[in-house]
Homo-oligomer: A and B are copies of this chain.
């Protein structure tokens, strides 16, 4: 009982148009039509025009399954998405950026769960073995990330969010986390803070090392006390993080400056300060990385540094497209700088 689908192209004729439909309509052979549509220069320009016009009129769209079967190309990009802990709002912005970059390219984006606790290699092996995608994107990159290693060996297109320490170049998009912590330390110092503290993500991730290095060296250069909260990482359960922060306030000389890598931690840090009777902006300062606009509208106001995750996702999409088009890996690196 299907009513007319609103804006169907002309001549639906009941059936979905294929190359054969066009061939019959134009009088050319199927092979010619295929060639013409792919812009093969061996086909006469006039023929190409005729075919293109017919295809347009019939509303022809190539069948993905057939093309995939024949060529082995899937027209699919797969994102390995962390489904466990996230930095608040990360997934939404990041994913929006990727889908935006893929819009109109004919590539579709599939999402596969990537639990750091599980075998991170399994989904990649599955994609490789069963030819489920033409390119892979992943996040939470490790210094010697096994996924990157496998994909490099297989010479399979991928873009990592975060750098690795492999010698062989590969495409990546990253945020300058070292610059972030340096900037954060500088701002706290400018506010007169002398005992700064932060919580790091799990040490396996490359960006954790960047955060640490920037933090430690900037703090040393400034000659201020600095601690990294131990026994807990940003991937710990929130209850544990909250407890650790609260316990830390009970030290004889607790920090007077905090650097928060995520918005959730920032909120929890503020909570621990409230509980211990401290007042941000007064006897203590907090500076956080911000990825969503809402931080502008919460109190107490805290100083933030922006990371544009939508732009990051967009860049990841752009790079995988360029990689699949054959661009050299060493030209496909983007390092975003901290902004206000």
**Interchain CB contact under 8 A, B83 and A3:** no
A57 at the binding interface (Cβ < 8 Å): no
Question: Within 8 Å CB of A108, what residues of B?
Answer: 110, 112, 132
* 8 shortest interchain CB distances as A-B pairs: A83-B96, A91-B92, A65-B68, A274-B299, A65-B69, A242-B297, A271-B299, A268-B297
**Interchain CB contact under 8 A, B91 and A293:** no
Question: Within 8 Å CB of A68, what residues of B?
Answer: 64-65, 68
Interface string of A230-259 (1 = CB under 8 A from B): 000000001101100000000000000000
Give the A interface residue count (CB, 8 A): 68
**Interchain CB contact under 8 A, B293 and A238:** yes
Chain A residues close to B by CB (< 8 Å): 1-3, 5-8, 16, 59, 61, 63-66, 68-69, 74, 76, 81, 83-84, 86, 88-92, 95-96, 99-100, 103, 108-113, 121, 125, 128-132, 150, 153-155, 238-239, 241-242, 264, 267-268, 270-271, 274-275, 292-294, 296-300
Copy count, this protein chain: 2
Question: Within 8 Å CB of A274, what residues of B?
Answer: 299-300
- A-B pairs with beta carbons under 8 Å apart, 9 shown: A2-B154, A65-B74, A89-B89, A95-B111, A103-B113, A108-B112, A238-B293, A241-B297, A264-B292
CA distance A64 to B126 in the complex (A): 13
